[in-house]
């Protein structure tokens, strides 16, 4: 196992003595290279050392990414939909020698966890281990971070790294519930966040992940509401740079372009996908996430604009990088062409332009969802003396909605609760439009309700508002009583 070496680190002109420095990664580390991924612990010898609140830096060498944009592009798209690290670029010097251009990925540790989950001391795991420890022979073999259930806690220790003081029993309970009682999985897993992770991995062909043969490169953190959160990690081999799904040999370019949006939906050895997608509602939600990622980032060409902007930002330090794995010419061609005769790294635009068309036309993606056309929260009547003590939410949706799901909470310190709206038999609605309503009691005279809706018809689901992950609808009962 690699050991940290105490050294001096300078970041943006500020010096930190006693920092811990070591190479990181398993497959990405190559003996004898100067340009290997680094981990820097600023608080290695002094627990109070930090830079802008960060105690650790994770520097990716962008292995098998001639474009230098895969990891930054994926993370910045992912952050629209689910908690994910920030990513940028940095120039790395070792002993005053320019080693090269690296991707600087936000470390998933205390600062990240506090920012997204308001805590950092709960059960915390990384799927996949850099240095596999011996496990009992009775353990299932080569299952990595698939979340298959094991009777023996020791079996989990060969497939996950624990970043908390304790938690192996929590992880085992997650796998027990997922595999044996998936109908209650929402009690211990944030299902929506897991579906976002799968959708992001699928659209952007990230197979060095749970969706690939090794089921690795994601974190699990148990939030204050007792639910595990999934966090994507280690994305430099996304956009088809890694090509194996665990079914047969590596995929070629055409296979990658036509990667099944329901990959592993029937694979019992991938329960975090197959158990979730066996639920009809979760499957509709997952496909809705696929459509949203596709429409907001790819079908409109935004991903290409971003990728070219990132390349323009780093072309000079990349050119000056004395240890770069690819030439400047390959860097410049890498968005549009396959680079390399052995590894054959697809051009990102070359891959995604045809993948976009494939997904848009795929039978599982063409069902038209019900769209929420009107949402109102009833206020107090002009001449009513009685103040409202409940939120009456009225919704209309088109395309023959079957159900409207309401998710609500009273502040960020609460978990969302779910309720089905009742159909409201009002007349005069256009064909295919239905009205729904529900009443949610206000806990105080000044309560503010955060909520979002999922409209479900026979073939698909849609969300209102579409950016519910960061900006749900907010209504204060005091405003309704004015």
Poorest-pLDDT segment among 15-24, 220-229, 256-265: 15-24
C-beta separation of 437 from 393 below 8 A: yes
CA–CA separation, 370 and 421 (whole Å)? 15
Query: For residue 31, what pLDDT is reported?
Result: 66
Confidence of residue 32 (pLDDT cuts 50, 70, 90): low
Task: Look at residue 1 and tell me whether its pLDDT is greater than 90.
Answer: no
CA–CA separation, 445 and 178 (whole Å)? 40
CA–CA separation, 126 and 221 (whole Å)? 9
Confidence of residue 27 (pLDDT cuts 50, 70, 90): low
Query: For residue 341, what pLDDT is reported?
Result: 87
CA–CA separation, 420 and 401 (whole Å)? 12
Percent of the chain with pLDDT over 90: 91
What's the mean per-residue pLDDT of the chain?
95
CA–CA separation, 147 and 337 (whole Å)? 36
Query: For residue 342, what pLDDT is reported?
Result: 87
Confidence of residue 25 (pLDDT cuts 50, 70, 90): low
C-beta separation of 9 from 42 below 8 A: yes
Element (H, E) at 355: helix 348-361
CA distances from 374 to 222, 338, 439 (A): 36, 47, 17
pTM for this model (two decimals): 0.96
pLDDT digits (tens, 9 = 90+) for 469-482: 999 999 999 999 98
Q: Which two tokens stand for residue 115?
A: 């920012």
Confidence of residue 2 (pLDDT cuts 50, 70, 90): low
pLDDT digits (tens, 9 = 90+) for 98-118: 999 999 999 999 999 999 999
CA–CA separation, 121 and 164 (whole Å)? 6
Task: Look at residue 15 and tell me whether its pLDDT is greater than 70.
Answer: yes
pLDDT digits (tens, 9 = 90+) for 330-382: 999 999 999 998 889 999 999 999 999 999 999 999 999 999 999 999 999 88
E strand residue ranges, 109-183: 124-127, 160-162
CA–CA separation, 101 and 241 (whole Å)? 19
C-beta separation of 46 from 55 below 8 A: no
The radius of gyration computed from the CA coordinates of the chain, to the nearest angstrom, equals 24
Mean pLDDT (whole number) for 56-70? 95
Q: How far apart are the first and last CA of the chain?
A: 65
The candidate with the shortest Cα–Cα distance to 276, out of 182, 199, 344, is 182
Q: Which two tokens stand for residue 170?
A: 């929590």
C-beta separation of 125 from 216 below 8 A: no
CA distances from 360 to 16, 38, 129, 367, 402 (A): 50, 39, 36, 10, 24
pLDDT digits (tens, 9 = 90+) for 267-290: 999 999 999 999 999 999 999 999
Task: Look at residue 142 and tell me whether its pLDDT is greater than 60.
Answer: yes
Mean pLDDT (whole number) for 180-208? 98
Q: Classify residue 346 by its DSSP letter.
A: P
Query: For residue 316, what pLDDT is reported?
Result: 98
Residue 454: which residues within 8 A CB-CB, separation 6 or more?
285, 404, 405, 407, 461, 462, 463, 464
């Amino acid at each position: 196992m690699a050991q940290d070496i105490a050294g001096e680190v300078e970041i943006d002109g500020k010096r930190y003595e006693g920092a811990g420095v070591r190479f990181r990664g398993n497959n990405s580390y190559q003996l004898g290279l100067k340009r290997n991924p680094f981990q820097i612990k600023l608080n290695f010898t002094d627990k109070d050392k930090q830079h802008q609140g960060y105690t650790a830096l994770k520097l990716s060498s962008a292995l098998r990414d001639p474009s230098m944009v895969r990891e930054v592009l994926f993370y910045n798209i992912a952050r629209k939909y689910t908690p994910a690290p920030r990513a940028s670029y940095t120039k790395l010097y070792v002993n005053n020698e320019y080693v090269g251009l690296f991707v600087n990925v936000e470390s998933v540790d205390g600062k990240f966890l506090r920012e997204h989950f308001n805590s950092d001391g709960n059960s915390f795991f990384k799927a996949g281990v850099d240095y596999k420890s011996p496990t009992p022979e009775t353990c299932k073999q080569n299952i990595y971070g698939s979340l298959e259930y094991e009777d023996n806690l020791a079996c989990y220790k060969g497939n996950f790294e624990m970043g908390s003081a304790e938690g192996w029993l929590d992880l085992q309970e997650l796998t027990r519930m997922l595999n044996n009682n998936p109908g209650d999985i929402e009690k211990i897993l944030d299902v929506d966040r897991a579906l976002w992770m799968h959708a992001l991995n699928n659209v952007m062909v990230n197979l060095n992940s749970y969706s690939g043969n090794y089921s690795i490169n994601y974190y699990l953190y148990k939030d204050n509401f007792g639910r595990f959160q999934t966090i994507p990690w280690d994305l430099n081999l996304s956009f088809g740079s890694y090509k194996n799904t665990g079914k047969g040999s590596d995929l070629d370019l055409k296979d990658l372009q036509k990667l099944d949006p329901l990959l592993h939906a029937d694979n019992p050895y991938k329960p975090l996908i197959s158990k979730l997608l066996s639920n009809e509602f979760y499957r509709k939600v997952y496909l809705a996430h696929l459509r949203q990622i596709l429409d907001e980032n790819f079908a409109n060409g935004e991903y290409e604009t971003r990728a070219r902007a990132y390349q323009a930002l780093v072309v000079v330090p990349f050119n000056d990088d004395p240890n770069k794995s690819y030439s400047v010419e390959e860097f410049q061609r890498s968005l549009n062409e396959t680079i390399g005769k052995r590894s054959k790294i697809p051009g990102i635009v070359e891959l995604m332009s045809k993948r976009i068309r494939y997904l848009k036309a795929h039978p599982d993606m063409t069902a038209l969802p019900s769209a929420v056309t009107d949402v109102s929260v009833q206020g107090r009547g002009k001449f009513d003396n009685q103040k409202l003590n409940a939120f009456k939410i009225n919704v209309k949706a088109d395309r023959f909605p079957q159900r409207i799901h309401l998710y609500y909470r009273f502040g960020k310190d609460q978990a969302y609760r779910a309720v089905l709206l009742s159909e409201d038999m009002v007349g005069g609605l256009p064909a295919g439009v239905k009205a729904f309503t529900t009443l949610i009691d206000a806990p105080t005279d000044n309560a503010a309700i955060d909520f979002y809706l999922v409209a479900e018809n026979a073939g698909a689901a849609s969300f209102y508002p579409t950016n519910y992950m960061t900006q749900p609808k907010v209504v204060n009962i005091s405003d309704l009583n004015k």
